[in-house]
A and B are shown apart, each in its own frame.
Chain A
Amino acid sequence: MSDFDFDIIWTTWPILRDATWISIKLFVLSLILATAIGLAVALMRMSKITPLRWFAAIYVWIFRGLPALVILFIAFFWLGNNLGLTPFQSAILGLGVSSGAYKAEIIRAGLLAVDRGQYEASEALGFTKVHYMRRIIIPQGIRVMVPNYVSNSTLLFKSTSLATVIGLNELTGRARQLANSTFQPIEILAAAGVIYLVFTSLMTLSQGFIERRFALKT
């Protein structure tokens, strides 16, 4: 084995940087979709309307029971083909739908942790459900959700690497190509790993900051 060759990393850096940017865009967009789905499914699971509760429970059962890869395949090979989606759009959809099932459970747990009395008091004060969920319950539930939400989002960031199987040249897929074409997989794949580590570590560190941001002011 030759010595670790830093030069190849500098040479390929512009390509890795562009691929990292794709990973970040993929992450942000699928996080937005997953959060929206998660919130909707969590509220449905807590609904008084039985079919909505069933729908939400089945959603969580199916999409947590399937590997994210399979969901991505369905989004790409079937939906993507029929709706004319690009691999990038398919990846957002697949990752969002998959992660949304986990987010739903996190959001539901947060909302259930809000004291029962808060619901009763809101109703006694004549708030409509939409109004008190938005103004009273969700703001309090967020505090409980934050740690799990952030660590689950770190998972989502790593899961963006799955998009490589549907031909998207995000960081992992691009690193693999470069590893093949330069014949220096040790250096290139390590560089990609360091880029992921920087982002996942930043997210873990930001967790404490976000928790303080949402903490009760005393």
Chain B
Amino acid sequence: MDVGFIIDIMPEILEGFSTTVRLFLWSMLFSTPLGLALALMRLSPLGPFRWVAGFYGWLVRGIPLILIMFYVFFALPEFGEAFLLSPFWSAVAALSVWTASYQAEAIRSGVLAVDQGQFEAAEALGMTKLHYMRRIVLPQSVRIIVPPFTGNAINTLKQTSLATVITVPEMSLLTTRIISREFNALEPLLALAIIYLALTTVLVFAQQGLERAFRLKA
């Protein structure tokens, strides 16, 4: 193993860093409101809302993310020009749809963990549902939602690597290009692994910081 080569190769892999991070951030941006909407639908008293959200979760969490990416990239354009997305936006769409299904579960279980008495008291005080969800229930559930939510986010960051299958030039794809050019796999892969490990480790620390920030002040 040649440590010098690992260091030499790193800047070339890091050219994909911003793509990886943009995949991650856009996916979080789209999946969070979608996940919230799905969670509220599953908690809704209206049957059709619950069914749609339940079906969504079953479908999206039942098939591999790579297959979702293939579907968005290869099959969707067949439905019409409007669905023809670039590889980058196909990956963002697939990652968002996928992440939202997991965030919906995280948010739903957080809301369910809020004491039933809080719902009853809010209703007894004459608050509308929209009002007490926003003002009473969601603020309390955030504390419970943060750990699984950030855990899912870390997963999404790792899964951005799958965008390589639809030729998005993120870090993993650049690394495979280096491997085939240099006929050498170990050093480029170690460089890639170090970058991912640094990223996920930073996010785990951020997760712990967020958990502390949302802890109940005694």
Contact = CB atoms under 8 A, between A and B. Distances in A.
5 contacts: A66-B197, A77-B179, A164-B165, A180-B74, A189-B74
B197 A69 contact: no
Interface string B74-112: 110011100000000000000000000000000000000
Q: How large is the interface on A (under 10, 10 to 19, 20 to 34, 35 or more residues)?
A: 35 or more
A165 B164 contact: yes
Contact of B74 (A61, A65, A165, A185): A185
A65 B197 contact: yes
Contacts of A68: 158
B28 interface: no
Interface stretch (B55-63, B121-129, B140-148): B55-63
Interface stretch (B38-46, B130-138, B188-196): B188-196
B172 interface: yes
Nearest to A195: B63
Most buried by A among B62, B162, B197: B62
Interface string A59-72: 00110111111100
Interface of A: 1, 61-62, 64-70, 73-74, 77-78, 81, 158-162, 164-165, 172, 175-176, 179-180, 185-186, 189-190, 192-193, 196-197, 200-201
Contact of B75 (A70, A74, A162, A186): A186
B7 interface: no
Interface stretch (B29-37, B65-73, B206-214): B65-73
B175 interface: yes
Given A66-B197, A69-B162, A179-B75, A197 B62 contact: yes
Contacts of B200: 64-66
Interface residues of B, number: 37
B180 to A, nearest CB: 9
Given A175-B70, A179-B70, A189-B75, A77 B62 contact: no
A77 B189 contact: yes
B4 interface: no
A95 to B, nearest CB: 12
Contacts of B58: 197, 201
A172 B159 CA distance: 16
- Which 9 A-B residue pairs are closest in the complex by CB-CB distance? A77-B185, A161-B64, A67-B158, A67-B161, A185-B75, A158-B64, A185-B74, A65-B200, A200-B62
A1 B76 CA distance: 10
Contacts of A78: 185-186, 189
Contact of B172 (A1, A65, A69): A69
B67 A175 contact: yes
B33 to A, nearest CB: 25
Given A172-B70, A185-B74, A70 B63 contact: no
A54 to B, nearest CB: 16
B62 A196 contact: yes
B201 interface: yes
**Most chain B CB atoms below 10 A, which of A69, A176, A196:** A69
B158 A193 contact: no
Nearest to A179: B74
B67 A159 contact: no
Contacts of A160: 64
A66 B158 contact: yes
Contacts of B59: 197
B19 interface: no
B201 A176 contact: no
Contact of A172 (B67, B175, B196): B67
Contacts of A159: 64
A164 B189 CA distance: 18
Given A1-B78, A65-B196, A73-B172, A201 B70 contact: no
